[in-house]
Amino acid sequence: MIRFSFQFPKYRLQILLSKRRGAFIDNSLLPDLEKIKNIRRGQKLSRFFRLIFERRKIKKLLGTNLALILLISTFIPNNSLANIENEQVIITESNSPLITKSAIQYPVSEIRISQEYQLFHPGLDFDGETGDEIRPIKNGVVEMIGKSKFAYGNTVIINHGGKITSLYAHLSKISVLPGQEVTTDTIIGEMGSSGQSSGSHLHLEIRDHGVPINPLSVLPKY
């Protein structure tokens, strides 16, 4: 041991120098294989790894790596996976109402039946005003139009297929032509009182194989 002493006006400084114990002891990472070979107790392989981890350099190396791992982990956001799990799927619903349209409809917008189907009246009479729009009860093709000052007056007959036809009588105006394809949105004419009529109305007949049937048995309930 070597001692140095320095005297200052107010303080005294002493420095002690001594040799470090084990300074020249082999401190390599791997243990001496000859020492392990001479060990009689325990398994040599487990003793080998135990001696490795007891080495001072190994401890320093592991301590440094653990500190580095802890430091890196602080930069990883804890909620990185939570953001994915908590992600919400927003489903928007359309405000458009679901519109369904019947294949068969009434020929007038305002349903006011003035006379029903009976023995000497093979159809329905719908009350209304001259000029009210008339549409077909079903998609089809215009089979015939007729204009007369008697009986049905101005008339449109539409063929719906399957030997089913519909007749629209007493019209004030006809807006279609023979052979024209029509839909339930097509205006085929306007209500009137042509022919043998006591007032403005629409006379509707539905025929199955040429035989009139009660329209109320085909038209939807109102």
106 phi and psi angles, rounded to 5 deg: -80, 150
The pair of structure tokens assigned to 38 is: 């001479």
Q: What percent of the chain has pLDDT over 70?
A: 54
Across the chain, mean pLDDT equals 76
**What pLDDT is recorded for position 99?**
46
Q: What percent of the chain has pLDDT over 90?
A: 52
Higher pLDDT, 37 or 205: 205
Query: Smallest Cα–Cα separation from 207: which of 150, 160, 151?
Result: 160
Q: What is the mean pLDDT of residues 3-9?
A: 64
In this prediction, residue 98 has a pLDDT band, given cuts at 50, 70 and 90, of very low
Strand 113-115 and strand 189-191: the pairing is unpaired
> How many CA atoms within 13 Å lie on the side-chain side of 157?
17
Which 8-state DSSP code applies to residue 118? Answer: B
Q: Which of 48-52, 87-91, 212-216 has the highest mean predicted lDDT (pLDDT)?
A: 212-216
pLDDT at 105 over 70: yes
Query: All domains of the chain, ordered by start, with CATH?
Result: 22-77 (no CATH), 113-217 (2.70.70.10)
Concatenated DSSP letters of 68-112? HHHHHHTTS-TTHHHHHHTPPPP-PPP-SPP----SS--SSSS--
Higher pLDDT, 57 or 203: 203
Tens digit of pLDDT for each residue in 168-199? 999 999 999 999 999 999 999 999 999 999 89
**What pLDDT is recorded for position 127?**
96
**What pLDDT is recorded for position 198?**
87
Work out the burial of residue 182: count CB atoms within 10 Å of its CB; fewer than 13 is exposed, 13-18 middle, 19 or more buried. buried
In this prediction, residue 51 has a pLDDT band, given cuts at 50, 70 and 90, of low
Q: What is the mean pLDDT of residues 119-146?
A: 96
Higher pLDDT, 85 or 41: 41
- Residue 62: how many other CB atoms lie within 10 Å: 11
